[in-house]
């Protein structure tokens, strides 16, 4: 009852559509990766303050789970939540690599919100919980909705489930990560002026296999952040061949498994 899986995700494609209010807007298709996940548990503990075990390398105030806790309290103000976490701590079994473009921090935050909503009987509906999660990170709403595959747009807050044939992927994460903020900054400085959102707007209605056919001559078209990331992390260019696709803004590549 007090444990939940926080799944990874990949971006089957990721296109930048603009820049507004200090943030990039996107069109993307997310795929939940069911065989890679962190585990979030609430275990008994007499805690003087909100406590997270298993993530000692992250300062508490920078932890997405802590940010989710604050966002939930700002929205809800329910003393039962505060009381619960005086008697329980959060324990994270971390399996999703950091700075990998797999959404681990966002998934942890979403799973924390969903588990707290359940165990504290808050009865917050999914759209509202996703809205709370959006205060923590752009990818959090996708994980709150818990779709297997979805088109994600805007600042990450527009989530539309998408019907695809079963897609199985293999992941490769090199032994280094890519900082999301730095990659997006690189994109804004070097590539934002060249975007043409109309050229891929129809992708939201296409199966991924058909998008692959359209981009077969240049796989980097699938992810606008690839060239921006290579500008900062040139070693990315030597990691994988054209069978592999760059996911998100981190260092992970994926390829489709042959069935």
pLDDT for 258: 64
Residue whose entry in the numeric block shows the structure tokens 């890679």: 36
Could you tell me the residue range of the domain that residue 135 belongs to? 1-259
**Annotated binding-site residue numbers:** 97-107
Tens digits of pLDDT across the chain (259 residues): 699 999 999 999 999 999 988 889 999 999 999 999 999 999 999 999 999 999 888 899 999 999 999 999 999 887 889 999 999 999 999 999 999 999 999 999 999 999 999 999 999 999 999 999 999 999 999 999 999 999 999 999 999 999 998 899 999 999 999 999 999 999 999 999 999 999 999 999 999 999 999 998 888 899 999 999 999 999 998 887 778 999 989 999 999 986 5
Q: How far apart are alpha carbons 229 and 249 in whole angstroms?
A: 7
* Nearby residues of 119 by Cβ (< 8 Å), 6 or more positions away: 1, 2, 42, 84
pLDDT tens per residue across span 27-42: 999 999 999 999 999 9
Yes or no: say if 105 and 137 are a contact pair by the CB < 8 Å rule. yes
CATH code, domain with 27: 3.30.230.10
Q: For the chain, how many structural domains are there in total? A: 1
pLDDT tens per residue across span 214-242: 998 888 899 999 999 999 999 998 887 77
Yes or no: say if 140 and 108 are a contact pair by the CB < 8 Å rule. no
| Catalytic hit among 38, 108, 139, 224 | 139
* Nearby residues of 95 by Cβ (< 8 Å), 6 or more positions away: 36, 37, 38, 39
Q: Is 0.75 topped by the overall pTM?
A: yes
Q: How many helices (H) and strands (E) does the chain have?
A: 8, 9
| Catalytic hit among 9, 15, 67, 89 | 9
Tell me how many degrees the CA angle 27-140-122 measures, rounded to the nearest 5. 140
Structure tokens at 71: 């966002």
**Annotated binding-site residue numbers for ATP:** 97-107
Concerning whether 240 is annotated as a catalytic residue, the answer is: no
Concerning whether 179 is annotated as a catalytic residue, the answer is: no
């Amino acid at each position: 009852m007090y444990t939940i899986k926080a799944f990874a995700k990949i971006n089957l494609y990721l296109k930048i559509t603009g820049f507004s209010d200090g943030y990039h807007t996107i069109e993307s298709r997310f795929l939940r990766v069911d065989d890679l996940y962190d585990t979030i548990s609430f275990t008994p503990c007499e805690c003087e303050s909100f406590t997270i075990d298993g993530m000692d390398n992250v300062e508490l105030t920078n932890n997405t789970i802590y940010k989710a806790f604050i966002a939930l309290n700002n929205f809800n103000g329910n003393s039962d939540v505060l009381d619960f976490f005086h008697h329980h701590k959060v324990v994270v079994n971390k399996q999703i690599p950091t700075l990998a473009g797999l959404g681990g921090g966002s998934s942890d935050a979403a799973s924390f919100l969903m588990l707290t909503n359940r165990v504290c009987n808050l009865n917050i509906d999914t759209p509202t919980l996703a809205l709370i999660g959006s205060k923590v990170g752009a990818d959090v709403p996708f994980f709150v909705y818990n779709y297997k595959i979805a088109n994600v747009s805007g600042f990450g807050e527009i989530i539309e489930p998408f019907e695809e044939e079963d897609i199985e992927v293999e992941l490769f994460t090199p032994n280094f990560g890519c900082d999301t903020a730095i990659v997006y900054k690189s994109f804004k400085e070097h590539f934002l002026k060249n975007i043409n959102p109309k050229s891929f707007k129809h992708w939201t209605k296409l199966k991924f296999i058909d998008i692959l056919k359209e981009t077969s001559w240049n796989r980097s078209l699938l992810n606008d952040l690839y060239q921006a990331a290579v500008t900062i992390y040139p070693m990315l260019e030597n990691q994988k061949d054209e069978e592999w696709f760059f996911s998100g803004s981190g260092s992970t590549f994926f390829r489709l498994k042959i069935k």
